[in-house]
Amino acid sequence: MSFDAVDVIVAKRDGHRLTDAQIDWVVDAYTRGAVAEEQMSALTMAILLNGMDRVEIARWTAAMIASGERLDFSRLSRPTADKHSTGGVGDKITLPLAPLVAVFGVAVPQLSGRGLGHTGGTLDKLESIPGWRAALSNDEMMTQLEGVGAVICQAGSGLAPADRKLYALRDVTGTVESIPMIAASIMSKKIAEGTGALVLDVKVGSGAFMKDVDRARELARTMVELGTDAGVKTVALLTDMSTPLGLTAGNALEVRESVEVLAGGGPDDVVELTVALASEMLAAAGVAGDPAAALADGRAMDAWRRMIAAQGGDPDASLPVARETEQVLAEVDGTVTVLDAYAVGIAAWRLGAGRARKEDPVQAGAGVELHARPGDIVRAGQPLLTLHTDTPERFPRAREALAGAVVVAPTGAPVGVRPLVIDRIEA
């Protein structure tokens, strides 16, 4: 069935529901180039302003899935479980999590992206390991899932191509923030990927996409409904992103910290979230296991080494280190009450850990190392942060980003920390 794009835009502009046929047509016609960019940008703005109901969102998601290929893991001898994070600062959890879950015989197909803006990308982090390769064919991915049990690789261009085109349009038309569109965008890729179970880590706070808990909860609920309706066992955790995760933000710095966690150490919050998400993935896949024990006794490290080596990486190679460092010192004695995730993310980005355009290179060694966290007592002159970069002319702009980001208050002042896991949402 064919429609007039203007009629579809006017229907949503005037607050009406779009029909299944209208949605199927507009998504397909836009992907083929038969609906113009300016028409789709008007429609996405109408959707941002007037919303979509559950039936419309599910149909929009299905239409985006239908625009490309669907992977099929049903040939695997293991159940599959995946995790998706909406993105944050220092969020390296995928690195220890994928091999950890694989220890229990659950296959983890982690199709990931690169960083854009202040949040880091999993592929950029892993590419700091000498030899490691992000691009795998579907056959290579399947073989690795069967043999090693975990794969972290680049999502192929065949998955939900409608989303790729639409996301680029939303990015330049002020329409990214629509909850139905974010939910459909994320879930179309995850459903097309073919995982049996999915755990969503929906970040809330200054370093996240969603700054307030109510909107994050609505996004989580919408995605859980979409996954469940598509037959994927889906659960979401709402987790705090007002402070960076762990003590590092930057590619090689985060790999080093992830290896510490796999060796049974590492920062408490990274361990806590890795174990919480692993427990959810195992439960969603219907498999029993104690992830904390597998981190502590080295089984997860063995799986990590196999996973890295299978993609050409050398798990024993030294990681790149930035050529220059500078420290940010505490100016007064007191307690750290605030350590702002967004500011640290921007600083790491400006130091060279992230990119402004998707074709830009990243510096493997660049980033920010944290020496104190909210609640810690510090003395004047003590290092709070170390900035790492290969290009020292970047230090002043990174320092600018960090102005006011670390608050040291007289000891006894209230500390702004909330629990790491704020809420859990399931169907």
Provide the binding-site residues for ligand URA, judged by CB under 6 A: 167, 176, 181-182, 185-186
Residue pointed to by tokens 């597998």: 294
Short-list 363, 394, 388, 385, CA closest to 125: 363
Question: Are 252 and 128 contacting, i.e. CB atoms less than 8 angstroms apart?
Answer: yes
Nearest to 170 by CA among 65, 42, 55: 42
CB of 330 to ligand URA, least distance (A): 36
CA–CA gap between residue 255 and residue 249 (Å, rounded): 10
Tokens 């350590």 found at = 339
Q: Give the distance between the most distant pair of CA atoms in the chain.
A: 70
8 A C-beta contact, residue 84 and residue 201: yes
Question: Closest CB to ligand URA among 3 and 167?
Answer: 167
The residue (of 155 and 309) whose beta carbon lies closer to ligand URA is 155
Closest residue to ligand URA in the complex (CB) = 185
Q: Which residues are catalytic?
A: 84, 163, 170, 185, 189
Give CA–CA dist 338/417, Å, rounded. 8
Q: Record the tokens describing residue 117, joined without a space.
A: 């803006």
Do the strands 197-204 and 324-329 form a parallel or antiparallel pair, or are they unpaired?
Answer: unpaired
Distances (CA, A) of 69 to 23, 63, 84, 137, 156: 19, 12, 20, 13, 10
Closest approach of ligand URA to the CB of residue 398, in Å: 25
Least distance to ligand URA from the beta carbon of 182, Å?
Answer: 4
The nearer residue to ligand URA, 179 or 278, going by C-beta atoms, is 179
- The single-letter code of the amino acid at 327 is Q
- Using an 8 Å Cβ cutoff, are 88 and 219 in contact? no
